[in-house]
């Protein structure tokens, strides 16, 4: 019996948007490594994630991955999506990037959100926390924070 395929998320970047170049490369726009600062609450935050993943014992077949963004204090799911992943060939190890669809997050106060993923209906695993906080510095003239 073959070993079970496993996927782990190596890194996750919270950003405004991820686009594809004609060459297939990803363009990460508005990366926020230390969380998001807003000028006032309530706030609406556009967001996306760029997920760098490692798969082991890959079989040529269709897989699925669920991604959820939850409020850390209450575990309330504020965004969730199921993504289909096609493995075009078998491999002992493979690296790839995933980008769930963009979303708009409504936030009423400073809060921490947690990103989780589940591979092929396995147990959800924590990936990263994203703090949303009130900005302490005045915006620059070109700052687009709301």
Indicate whether 24 belongs to any domain: yes
Q: According to the model, what pLDDT value does residue 134 have?
A: 92
The residues, any chain, with a CB within 8 Å of residue 24's CB and separated by 6 or more, are none
Would 42 be classed as within a structural domain? yes
pTM of the prediction? Answer: 0.86
Q: Give me the domain span that covers residue 25.
A: 6-134
Q: What is the pLDDT of residues 28-71, one digit of tens each?
A: 999 988 889 999 999 999 999 999 999 999 989 999 999 999 99
Task: Determine contact, residues 110/63, Cβ cutoff 8 Å.
Answer: no
How many residues are given for the chain? Answer: 146
Confidence of residue 140 (pLDDT cuts 50, 70, 90): low
Total domains in the chain come to 1
In 3D space, the residue among 54, 80, 66 whose CA is nearest the CA of residue 118 turns out to be: 66
Decide if 140 is inside a domain.
no
141 domain-assigned: no
Residue 130 within a domain = yes
136 compared with 26, residue with greater pLDDT: 26
Specify whether the CB–CB gap between 56 and 86 falls below 8 A. Answer: no
The answer to whether residue 125 sits within a structural domain is yes
Residue 93: strand pairing partners: 56
- Report pLDDT for 1: 42
Return the CATH number at 36: 2.60.40.10
1 located within any domain: no
The kind and range of the H/E element at 85 are strand 77-86
CA 15 – CA 25 distance, rounded (Å): 16
Q: How far apart (Å, rounded) are the C-alpha atoms in residues 14 and 61?
A: 29
Buried-state track 103-140, b at ≥16 Cβ within 10 A, e below 16: eebebeeebebbbbbbbeeeeeeebbebebbeeeeeee
Question: Per the domain annotation, does 145 fall within a domain?
Answer: no
């Amino acid at each position: 019996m073959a070993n079970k395929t496993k996927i782990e998320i190596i890194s996750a970047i919270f950003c405004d948007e991820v686009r594809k170049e004609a060459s297939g490369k990803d363009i990460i726009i508005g990366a926020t490594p230390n969380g998001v600062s807003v000028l006032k609450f309530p706030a609406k935050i556009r967001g996306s994630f760029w997920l760098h993943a490692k798969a082991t014992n890959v079989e040529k077949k269709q897989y699925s991955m669920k991604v959820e963004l939850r409020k850390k204090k209450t575990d309330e799911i504020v965004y969730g999506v199921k993504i289909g992943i096609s493995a075009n060939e078998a491999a002992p190890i493979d690296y790839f990037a995933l980008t769930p669809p963009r979303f708009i997050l409504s936030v009423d106060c400073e809060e921490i959100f947690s990103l989780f993923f589940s591979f092929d209906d396995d147990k959800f695993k924590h990936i990263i926390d994203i703090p949303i906080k009130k900005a302490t510095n005045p915006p620059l003239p070109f700052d687009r924070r709301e």
